[in-house]
Structure formats: structure tokens, C-alpha cells
Amino acid sequence: MSEIRLIEKESAAPEEIQQLVKGIATHAAEAVGDPGFHPLAVLAQDAEGAIVGGISSNVNCGWLSIKLLWVAPGVRRADLARRLMDAFEELGRSRGCKHAHVDTLAFQAPGFYERLGYEPFGEIADYAPDAARIYYKKAL
């Protein structure tokens, strides 16, 4: 085997990440068939076109894996997070997803996800100072 170098970076380029995704999908296909691993997002823009919220995820084996949900402070009371989640779940259903999962810190949004029908299935105590990281799932 030739020499292998390890390269440390603050962030990888999109094409580098895509190469990792392709490698994982190829490996997973051997066990589960095509896992359908691909990114999916729903964004919210204001009248000027600025992004004021959104959801970023991956789809894998029929699951929506929510990575980020953010809503700008100025529009948080406008029910935008719920609207984003509704649109996101519908987009997932249209792509054949049967389930979704997400995690949040105890001080962030557990009540929000529970009101949307997400059920806790695990946690890491003291993930952040005095705050657990809670994992949720939902059947779509």
C-alpha cells in the first residue's frame, strides 16, 4: 500500500464531501440496496430574497435526517419553523420517505419537535454544559 497522508481542514470542499457520500452510498448499497443518500433542503426567503430560515437534511434509506433547522430572530414568532417542517415533511413524503429523525439540545427546541409529533428515543446527558442532546423520530 502506498503512503497515505492525513489532511486536516476546517471544512472540506463540496466535491470532497460528495466523494465521501459516494463512498458511503456504494458501501451501504452492498448491504441494503440503493440507500438513496442525497441532500434535501427547504429554505425561507423574505421579500428581498434574503434567507430567513431553512432546513437542511440528508435522505438515507427512506429516512429524513434533519441536520439543521434555523429561523432568524426577527421572524421566529411568525410560525415559520412549523411551516418549514410541514413543507419539509411533505417534500420527504413525495421522495418516498417514511420516517424523519432530528436531534436538539435540551435548551433549544424539544417542546417544538414534540408538538409536531416527534418522539424521543435517546439522549446524551451533559452534551453541552448542563444540557442533554435529545434524539427524536417520527413516522411520516
The residues spanned by each domain of the chain are: 99-140
Determine the pLDDT at residue 14.
Answer: 85
Burial 2-39 (b: 16+ CB within 10 A, else e): eeeeeeeeeeeeeeeeeeeeeeeeeebeeeeeebbbee
Architecture per CATH, domain 99-140, reads as 3-Layer(aba) Sandwich (3.40)
Strand 119-128 and strand 51-60: the pairing is unpaired
DSSP tag of 49: S
Length of the chain: 140
Determine the pLDDT at residue 1.
Answer: 61
Cα gap 71→54, rounded to integer Å: 7
pLDDT(35) > 70: no
Model confidence over 63-117: pLDDT tens digits?
999 999 999 998 988 899 999 999 999 999 998 999 999 999 999 989 999 999 9
Q: In what order do the strands lie in the sheet with 38-45?
A: 38-45, 51-60, 63-71, 99-105, 131-139, 119-128
